[in-house]
Amino acid sequence: MGLERGRRASLAITFNFVALTFAVSAVTTSYWCEGTRKVAKPFCTGPPAKAKQWFCIRFNSTNMNDSRQVQYIFETGEEKFLLKKFHAGIFFTCEQASDMKGYDCRRFADVAPEHEKGVLWLCVVAESLYLSLLFIGGCMMILEQCPCFSIMNKLKLSAFAAMLTALSGLCGMVAHMMFTTAFHLAVSLGPVDWRPKSWDYSWSYALAWCSFGTCMGSAVTALNRYTKTIVEFKYKRRNIEKSLMVKEKMMEMDLPEPMWDMYLTAVAEAPTELLINGHKPSTGEPCVDEEDGRSQRHGEAYC
């Protein structure tokens, strides 16, 4: 039984560590959402290149000051526009540069609607609480394994760790939902030079929800281990109290010492069976009277 409890404790700690790793990785990256933006191609600058520069528009002549020449471009229709990739997270949003080499980043708070920034700050606060409570719960789970604590202190640590881990999971769920709301508001009401043409959730968003799932798994495992230990203690205490009551009655009856030793031996060798509502489960066989060997059919009683 102790080995099983040790395995449950190790499983809860593992879930907590995985959840914390996923959460930190998701918060520190900016790939919660990604997509494309449709923007007009800028005019090319500098001397003409040998290869055609598809990310900008170049006139037929490099002499822009000669008014006698007719300036025209070859791009028509959709060729005048460019699809830039972008990705956004809780703290930053990045978009491909004009020359399509690298990314230009800015704070996500700068693109959020001015009157809706409270949703984003609520997301940041909830995410901070999620990481803090998850870390504290993991530390308490590790501290519980220290052999210097008594069994009751370990149970208290296990209960607090399960409670803090479950509370951190709720904060994480609120944080993820608040970011989803803030991003939707930015897409609808944000600056025109940022609004995407198409977008979808990315791997950081999936990582955040995986962190929430493993966090709740850690809380459930820790709480299950705590409740199972409490049930075992109550069952053993009930058996001890029952044995002490029988001992007290036998001492009142002034039974000889060999009779008491025989009872202790029988109790020690008896297999441990869980009781249902305080009674031994029925085996489906009729009870037999030990004195006359006849079956007790009264009321269809079964052992």
Domain ranges of the chain: 1-42+80-231
Q: Determine the Cα angle at 251 with ends 246 and 256, to 5°.
A: 110
Per-residue pLDDT at 301: 46
- Cα–Cα nearest to 303, from 279, 290, 287: 287
Residue 23 token pair: 């959460």
Pairwise CA distance, residues 258 & 278, whole Å: 30
CB 126 within 8 A of CB 174: yes
Q: What is the average pLDDT across 79-90?
A: 82
Could you give the C-alpha distances from 255 to 67, 109, 241, 263, in angstroms and in order?
Answer: 127, 84, 20, 11
Pairwise CA distance, residues 92 & 34, whole Å: 12
Per-residue pLDDT at 222: 83
Residues 54-64 pLDDT 10s: 566 665 555 55
Lowest mean pLDDT among 67-76, 115-124, 294-303: 294-303
Residues 30-61 pLDDT 10s: 999 999 888 777 666 655 555 556 566 665 55
Per-residue pLDDT at 270: 47
What's this model's pTM, rounded to 2 decimal places? 0.67
* DSSP per position, 50-113: SS--TTSB--S-S-TT-TTSPP--S--GGGGEEEEEEEE-SSEEEEE-TTSSSEEEEEHHHHS-
Could you give the C-alpha distances from 160 to 54, 78, 185, 237, in angstroms and in order?
Answer: 60, 60, 37, 24
236: pLDDT confidence band, cut at 50, 70 and 90? low
Residues 108-144 pLDDT 10s: 988 888 888 889 999 999 999 999 999 999 999 898 8
CB 225 within 8 A of CB 8: yes
Q: What is the mean pLDDT of the chain?
A: 75
**92-100 long-range CB contacts below 8 Å, 24 or more apart?**
92/30, 93/30, 93/194, 94/30, 95/37, 95/194, 98/42, 98/55, 98/56, 99/55, 99/56, 100/55
CB 29 within 8 A of CB 89: yes
CB 250 within 8 A of CB 264: no
Pairwise CA distance, residues 190 & 115, whole Å: 11
- Tell me yes or no: is domain 1-42+80-231 CATH 3.40.640.10: no
Per-residue pLDDT at 255: 53
Please check the confidence at residue 290 and state whether its pLDDT lies above 50.
no
